[in-house]
Amino acid sequence: MPRGQKSKRRARERRYRARAKTQSLKGAQATEAAAAAAEIEELPSSPASVSRGTPEGVSCPGYEEGARASQDKESASTFQAAPSTHSTCTDPVTRNSGMLVQFLLEKYKLKEPIRQAEMLKSIDRRYKKHFHEILRRASESMELVFGLDLKEVDPTRHYYALISKLALSSEESLSDESGLPKSGLLMILLGMILMKGNRATKEEIWEFLNALGLYAGRRHSIFGEPSRLISEDFVQQNYLTYRQVPNSDPPCYEFLWGPRALAETSKMKVLEFVAKVNADVPSAFPDLYEEALKDEEERAGVRAAARAAALAQRSARSRAKARSSSHI
């Protein structure tokens, strides 16, 4: 086979493998996040998430219809619900990691420092020898479900802090009345939109939410009523944009990244987040990685231009001040 044809064939094979990995990434993202959330929900201190009711305050046109339709639709795609985690919660390490998550959330809501000694006290003393594994699992749950990184900020005194994966201008704006942060779910949805070519239909969004165990009209103990969360928090606060697809008849609706998401995170950060769910690296998804790199370059150019403009403005003020002083 001529060299040119071999090169084209290899390129096609790479693209095919990349698409296949992207599809598996979507499935893994939903499954891992759903499993982590379910483990937290099943703890005795967590309220049940079975109360139902009609969502109030949903202002997005065509929104509830898409939510209900997705619940009735059986999907054979990669967005399959995670298997039940009832059996896994009998595992003492998993159970103790859930207990540690509850402790970390309380510390986060109270804005208190986190000491390793306190974390050790929050788990069953019989399993302290498994603390590092318990801490690893709890950290993964905090990242996947709540979008918070647990970082050791003082290695000498073993102090830790929970840091949002989003550079939010107001973290409280993505927390409900219980104080639980919602940025983890937002990161997951931003990743899903990114993988869908930077736009996802409302049906695709709801298929994905259903795979996470989130259903319209059913209150979730961690995320609340998802229709309200998305419309009142993510859309109204400009983290997501919800709009009618141009020239669609009958009307179809889609989600895109909103202006605040574009300002407070980046495609690379979101890709790193969803790749980590799949135990991989961003470069394993070449098309998305190339797009994220281009986005990073554009952002760097904008920052450089802004710095140059600010420097020029300061220089102009200094020159004006110097001229003014010389006339005195």
Bridge partner residues of 200 (DSSP): 255
32, pLDDT greater than 80? no
Q: Is 264:167 a contact under the CB 8 Å cutoff?
A: yes
Q: How confident is the model at residue 44 (pLDDT cuts 50, 70, 90)?
A: low
**Residue 322 in tokens:** 């110097």
pTM recorded for the entire structure:
0.69
Q: What is the pLDDT of residues 288-317, one digit of tens each?
A: 999 999 999 999 998 888 888 888 888 888
Contact 45, 220 (CB under 8 A): no
pLDDT one-digit tens code per residue, 147-163: 889 999 999 999 999 98
Q: What is the amino acid identity at position 267?
A: K
d(CA 144, CA 135): 14
CB burial readout 29-55, b (16+ within 10 A) else e = bbbbbbbbbbbbbbeeeeeebeeeeeb
**Separation CA 166–CA 242 (nearest Å):** 20
Interatomic CA distance for residues 132 and 216, integer angstroms:
38
Q: Is the dihedral of CA 156, 160, 161, 162 positive or negative?
A: positive
* % of the chain with per-residue pLDDT over 70: 67
| CB of 265 closer than 8 Å to CB of 190 | yes
pLDDT over 80 (residue 274) = yes
Of the candidates 82, 7, 33, 32, the residue with the CA atom closest to the CA atom of residue 184? 33
Give 54's pLDDT tier (boundaries 50, 70, 90): very low
For 215-264, what is each residue's pLDDT tens digit? 988 988 788 888 998 988 899 999 999 999 989 999 999 999 999 999 98
